[in-house]
Amino acid sequence: MRRSAVLGGRYVLRSLIGQGGTAEVYCACDRVLEREVAVKLLRQASVEERDRARFADEARLLGRLSHPGLVTVLDAATSDEEPYLVMELVHGPSLADCCRGVALATTRVAAIGAQLAEALRYAHDNGIVHRDVKPANVLLAEDDRALLTDFGIARLLSASTGHTATGTAVGTAAYIAPEQVRGEPVSPATDVYSLGLVLLEALTGERAYDGSPAEAALARLTTPPPMPSTLPAGWRDLLLAMTALDPADRPTTVEAVDSLRRLAAETEPAKPGFTGRTDVGESPATRSTAGSLPGSAVVTAAAGQLRTTGLGAVSRPAGLARRAGLAWRWATAAVLALVLVLGVTLWSNTLSGRPPQRDTPAGVPDRVQKPLQDLHDAVEGDR
């Protein structure tokens, strides 16, 4: 079926400005109010009932939110043959466009981070966890506002049911929190972790976890991201706290806002010493939507111990000690490793276009068969 040029008799589609796995975003003209808007539409080739339900959820979630740090929803049609969401058009690049291979100034990153943390605080206060905080979902407006967008997989904290099965990892591989990898319940601390990785990437121009998706997933279960020794001490302390393995050890969004505002008031620039790479950024997906890309990692881990990598020595500030040790994680390491490596390999195959292996590999223990099949079904269902 052809895409309508005019939606609802009002919104005239112009140019495609972004696209993700299931949706496209167009620059459009509102003929009634004579202004430019952004219109998000589901891809017609992949519209399924679950996609429609998620789309309707996003419209309702954003419709109840009003904050300077969130992209404003202006209109929506979720029951039409062509469901669409009308939002304010943000003139400016995404954070992913700005920090790909480039380290941004510490004061600028602090200002951006404070705005994002404040927007997340507002969302959390309204019972919503974003679950997909990443550079491509941060838009930098011409008036210096940083806006968070794409609540397509957000979850209500009070929801007992949803469109994702319990125990399923949902989010973008490079920024997913450890509890998301394990398929555990999400909380505001989940967004704090992802924001910490986003800010670290903006400061270095590099993703924190490099390597294959399986390596990235396994690494974040046992080791915080490596912190370049060239970062100011205040930044290292804050980012280590935000990316603590235990959600209970992470600061709240209110605490993060206060810390970031203090850092924004400082004038110390980021020191040279790390090299930006251009092969680890994700494709630009501006103005409201982006696809998920596999994460990456070159982190070595030992229980309760951090080790040095090429990015510099990693140290754990005394005041940020974890409330619980990491030893318990190793008790199930073998099962987790098998499920994650095989499951994320399926994810990687899906993204690269290679046909997935639907049969469970021989030799997989019986107790792992169902989690592995659930992970496979989740990956295939989100294509």
Tokens 């992802």 correspond to: 194
**Distance, CA of 236 to CA of 243 (rounded, Å):** 11
Rounded-to-integer distance, Cα 28 and Cα 198, Å: 30
The residue annotated as part of the active site, out of 132, 150, 210, 382, is 132
The set of residues, in sequence order, having a beta carbon less than 8 Å from that of 274 and lying 6+ positions away, is 103, 204, 205, 206, 228, 230, 311, 312
What stretch of H or E contains 331?
A: none
40 belongs to an annotated ligand binding site = yes
In this structure, the dihedral spanned by the alpha carbons of residues 289, 215, 187 and 252, taken in order and rounded to 10 degrees, is: -100
Six-digit token pair at 378? 């989740």
Angle between helices 106-125 and 253-264 (to 10 degrees): 160
Cα 368 to chain centroid distance, Å, stands at 27
Burial label, 322 (beta-carbon count in 10 A; 0-12, 13-18, 19+): middle
H helices of the chain, where? Answer: 49-63, 95-99, 106-125, 178-181, 188-204, 213-222, 233-242, 253-264, 327-330, 333-352, 366-381
Q: Is 132 a catalytic residue?
A: yes
- Which residues carry out catalysis? 132
Binding residues for ATP: 40
Binding residues: 40
